[in-house]
Amino acid sequence: MFKALSVIGLIVGGALTVMYVVTGLGGDTPDAWANGWLAGPIVLLCVLPILSISRVADGAIRQMRGLAPKGFEGAPLAMGTIVSAERTGLSINDQPQLEILFDVDTMDGQSFRGVAKAIIDITELAHVVPGAVLPVRYRPGSTDGKIVIAADAPQHEMQAVIDRVRVAKGLVTPRQLQISEQGVEAKAVVLAMAPTGEIQGDRAVMDLTFRVTRADQSTFDLAQRKPIDASAIPQLQPGMVVQVRYLPHDESELVVLTAFRP
């Protein structure tokens, strides 16, 4: 709708601008330049910025509807780690647009730096910080560095892609991936979280204790030492309830399903 209105306005503005110039050149008095055709360049100057804003609005609407932005329909998913995020100065319905710089890791082991512009709900701004991980879509073979946040992807696809990228990067073991894919989903309460002082890559190693509730409502406690992404630490504070997966025949390890906020 925005695009159609903008194109109509652009055509009308262009036609009126031509008449404005022709009338002004052929007129006998200076008043010819101030006649009604002056609306032409005014409309044109107004429509040009509206046209660009409408494209952003169309993208925002597609994102809110869970659709991939145009040009990225069916594009492969990858894991994006935020490097920086800055406001562009544009907002839609009081929701700011951010230009977000990502380090992107694909499932086939490639890494590159990409940029996405996205309308972010103002209540989610605190989560769009350096180090946070979000699923993104990219165009293989493209050299423009443009990517989009994969707000259209189902949660299970997001988790699967990020798990496989982490395995490729050595951040997750094959066993943990097996638990993530084949394990039983359950709820767990974080009983304790304490830093060990150790760092693996750019992640702090934590001692975590969980109380897991089985499907029959019985519980078991499990202590684990895990490297944790900085963006996941707020979700793993003592007292928090988290979604986990574990293998019923082997309760010695679990995988925490931290929430993504695309």
pLDDT at 4: 45
215 vs 71, more confident: 215
Greatest mean pLDDT among 61-70, 107-116, 182-191, 193-202? 182-191
One fold for 77-155 and 182-257: yes
pLDDT at 2: 42
Q: Which pTM does this prediction carry? A: 0.52
**Pick from 140, 135, 164, 165: nearest CA to 150:** 135
41 vs 130, more confident: 130
Q: Which CATH class is domain 182-257?
A: mainly beta
202 vs 175, more confident: 175
Residues contacting 245, CB < 8 A, separation 6+: 179, 180, 183, 184, 185, 186, 254, 255, 257
H helix or E strand, kind and range, residue 156: helix 155-168
97 vs 42, more confident: 97
- Are 207 and 190 spatial neighbours (Cβ–Cβ below 8 Å)? no
Per-residue pLDDT reduced to its tens digit, 78-94: 989 899 999 999 988 88
B/e letters for 136-153, b = 16+ CB within 10 Å, e = fewer, are bbbeeeeeeeebbbbbbb
**Pick from 229, 231, 211: nearest CA to 220:** 211
Residues contacting 238, CB < 8 A, separation 6+: 190, 191, 192, 193
3: confidence class by pLDDT, cuts 50, 70, 90 = very low
Q: Which range, of 10-14, 156-160, 194-198, 244-248, averages the lowest pLDDT?
A: 10-14
- Are 134 and 82 spatial neighbours (Cβ–Cβ below 8 Å)? yes
Residue-range domain boundaries for the chain: 2-64, 77-155, 182-257
Q: Which range, of 11-25, 38-52, 180-194, averages the lowest pLDDT?
A: 38-52
21 has a pLDDT exceeding 60: no
Q: Which fold has domain 77-155?
A: OB fold (Dihydrolipoamide Acetyltransferase, E2P) (2.40.50)
> For the CA atoms of the chain, what is the radius of gyration?
26
C-alpha separations of 211 from 54, 180, 244 in Å: 50, 18, 11
Size (the chain), residues: 262
Region 45-61: what's the mean pLDDT?
42
Region 165-182: what's the mean pLDDT?
83
258: confidence class by pLDDT, cuts 50, 70, 90 = low
